[in-house]
Structure 1
Amino acid sequence: MPAPKGAPEEAALARTSRRRVRVFLLTFILCLAVGLAWDLQRPALYSASASLLTVAPPEVDQQNVEADIQHVTIQKQRLLGRPLLERVARELATKNPGAELPGVDEIRAMLDVSILPETNLVELQAQGGDPALLSLLVNTWIESYLKLREEEVAALNARTVDVLREQYEALGKKIAEKRAALNDFRENNQILSTERDENQILSRLKGLNESLNTVNEEMVKARARLDAVEAAIARGETVVPEQDKRAYAQMVQRAQELREQVAEMNRRYTKQYIERSASLKVIPEKLAKLEAKILKSQRSGQDYVLTSARQDYAAARQTVESLRKQLEDFKAEASEFTARFSEYQAMQEDLAGLELLYRELEDRLVKVEVTNRAKYPQLQVVEWAYPPEKPIWPHYWRDAGIVAGVSLAVALLMVWLVDFLKPIARGTGRAGLGITIYPANAALEQQGQAVAPALGKKNSQQALPGTGIAELGVDRIARLLENADPFARQLIALLMSGLSAEEILRLEPSHIDLEKGEVAVPGDPPRKVGLAPGVVDWFEREGCPWLAWSGKDHFDREEIDARLQLAAVDAGLAESGQIDAELLRNTYLLYLVRQGIRLSELETIVGTMPARELLDLGRYSPAHAGKPASEVQLAYPLMA
């Protein structure tokens, strides 16, 4: 079993603890004092604010006024303008005679205006170290702005009334001149009425057009009647005057009756009988006379109707031509009158527009005079400023907490930095774990000149340039063994004896022969590896071989690396996350190669290896390599 630590080691640990406490307290108190001094020496900053509506509030029966972004922006610039701030400075001096007050530039630096989005509201703010002065400054600022606005509104109202009255009088004169010119124009051009059709020339023109349309219709009808008469005559139809139609119809009917009598008479009597009878003989004679009369009536009626139709058509055409001539003769006069009448109507429209503008101007003037905006405020103070009770900056308690946290972090960092920079003292005898820990140079001296190149700096005359195989320095391995538990110490001993992690996983207590000081490594082919005397002590418990991981569940390659890294963390190694089984085994391989061992015999110690890995290791061989294994120190110095 390993021997307990002695008094020197306990004293060293006590000194280290006291040093850490002193460094921590000194750093923490110093940082905390500096931070709190910086925190508390900062002057308090107060803020006072007020709200202002930049437009007149709406009447009870009116809708809310929409936000006017341009107007609000202009008022913001005016609130921060130098003329208003100079007035504020004068008002402050009047209210506080003899007091030390800020100047205009200082007041400008203290004030700010914020526009509330989508509203006509602005927030007036003042920041400084005197809370009473801030509220007084903001309220004086508002009062000065109110007075300025009242003066501006009064002046603007007076100017507006003067301008409107001047425009009103000038427009009245112009309307009178327009009205007189319109009357003269109407008299000179014989315009009797404002209605177009009521004027003589246009009325006559309208009558001629209506008469021409009527005569045209009559001419068309006369022509159609003439065409109908001629067509009837051409077809052989009977054409008689309208007044003769009744008499003509009676003659035709009488002739038809006589024909029927003659036909009946011819059927009943012979021709000789008819000629001898005086009563019968007269019937054919009457028929002949009647037919002659009908024929004469047809001819005379046809001539009359045709002549009458031609005369009507000729008369209608003559009338149309006469009216057209009159219309043509009158058209020039009518056109000139139409132009004059249109000009007259345009003059009327101009006069009506001027009269409308005159009435609007009159209404506006009356409203301005009646309303008198100077009597009513054009803005509203929503909230006045009050003296602030708490500062808005700095946050002393919050910043004090931050200072305390930063001081704690700096103190811890300083403790770590001091431990990191302080060299690690190592004893020359056995440590409390039962092993002897040597400084690198001392170990090499004890092992002789054959071992020195293996643990010192790389020999400047290697066979080939190094390829950068990772290894762990002897001082790091010493710290690792010093702080390792039995589990990790056994793993380190086997890895630094030439076993791989896979071979350790297959190892059983029966494979260890403590009497001979060797391990029978299972594999293909199996081999035996010697154990240094110090290593034998780590595997002996009550006279029997003992493996710390016997009976452990989930013992695998990851568990091996995790155990080694835990030991590195306990040893305070910065590269603890990089330490694993492969790194320790490579360190042992480089230890053998730098002694000049023959590479072909290296496999008898560490097991079968790929030729590529052997070639990489060969680059670390000294210039005169090729020693057999019997001439090389196989035990790592720290394991002796």
Structure 2
Amino acid sequence: VPVPETNLLELRAEGEHPERLQQLVNRWAESYEEFRAEEIEAASGRTTAELEDQQVQLQARIDAARAELQSFREANDIVSLERGENSSLAKLKGLNDSLNKAQETLIAARARKTAIDEAIARGETVVPSEQKAEIAKLQLGVQRGQIRLAELRQRYTQVYIDRDPVLKSLPGELRAMQDELAHAIRLARTTVSDEAQQAVEAALVSVAALEQQLVDHQRDVQLFNDRFKEFKALEENLTRLDTLHADNQQRLAQIQVSNFKKYPPIQVVEWARIPAAPIYPDYDRDLLIAIAAALGLALFVTWLVEYLSGQAASPSGTPYLGVRIHHTDQLQGPQTGDSRLIDHPGSQPDALAAPPPNLPVLPRELAVAEVSALMGAIEPTTAAYATLLLSGVSPYELPLLHAGCFNDDQRQISVPGAGRREVVISARAWQRLQDILGNLDEARMSLPVAEIDSHLRAGAQGARLADPGSINALALWHTYVVFLIRQGVDASALAQRVGAVPPEVLATLMHYAPPDGNRPPGSIEFTHPAL
């Protein structure tokens, strides 16, 4: 049997032996779970098994290919996937750079040698750096000697100079200095020329050695290129295997998603158990039916006697229960009686017409005094469930509650299901819940709704309330909904507190709203006076 406004199914079995029926229903649920698992396995198990086997084989091949690639890299000194960053190619580049520099040095050495030879041929003074100071000193001495000899010849005659023992030696000293200068210049030219020639020969030797090294290393580079091609092939093979592995993994995920859509998961919210009270026959109901039948028969006999006696029928209308739309002046101030009774003395004469036939039948609304009397007459566990109903949790949501829905620190109830919401209750109302919080687990509640209804009817009889058969979990929840609507709560705040209400029922309930319109949620009292 589907549970209204939920995605739950209720399995029921009725009979004379409750123990066997409990085992039968539980076995029924277990068999369905096994059948569902076998159906999913038959639909996708073979394909999934083949793909998983392929995944294992591919993973083994990937591990082997990765190990082979690593060994090949270490054996051939491949440190990077970029060719230029490996040692062989880096060394080849270094040799080319060195050869270019050596050739530039050779060209510069030859150019210098040619320039020196041309300067010597023109008779220019070519002096090495380390001899420049010495030759400059000799040139200065020769220049001074020439100047002094020229000054003496201007002042004295040659005869006088030749007779003077000091002056006559000056020309000889000057010639000796000139000879020494000429010898130093010849030696400097020879030195510079030899150094230039040696630089050329050294550059030639360097170029020849680098060219030979380059030739030898090119063979190594060719071998490295072949190995690098093999390395790239191994790497491409590993990439291909990784791609196949990822594709298979994606196919597995798609199969799992399609199975989830085609075969949604099921969960047993509550296993069958032996009821505390007999489901059938319902003695309380049968008693009420018998009383109602007797009362009806008595009324019929009375009417028949009056009819046969010729008495006229009473002019007053027959009282009935229903939803009545009040005018504005009728909603001012408190009502002294039950306004749901259409022929109540306080009702207006023009309100005696029956309500439209298309209005939905609403549960019974209990007065605050009736709720208080009922709460005092029922045991604590049933009173705890009644507190949940008078706080906005509907009877259809009670089976969904578990221990994880209750936050003791914030006094907050997380209501699951289609009308998921957070309900905060007062500290006094929270104390009433302690009798059921210890009996809840992660998947079930201790009392079914039918058993709660039975306890509520028994409590109503004990409190001597009128019509106890109409007092049930839905009536308590309906009483709380009407309590909020009479305060002027809007539809949004109402849905956040009690969950979704069908539009046609909500439209009927809005007749209880005050004439001055909705009030903000902050001015609404969400705790029922009976709590």
Give the TM bin, normalised by the shorter chain: 0.3 to 0.5
Higher relative contact order by CA 8 Å / sep ≥ 6: 1 or 2?
Answer: 1
- Structure with the greater alpha carbon radius of gyration: 1
Higher strand share: 1
User: TM-score, normalised to structure 2's length?
Assistant: 0.38
User: TM-score, normalised to structure 1's length?
Assistant: 0.32
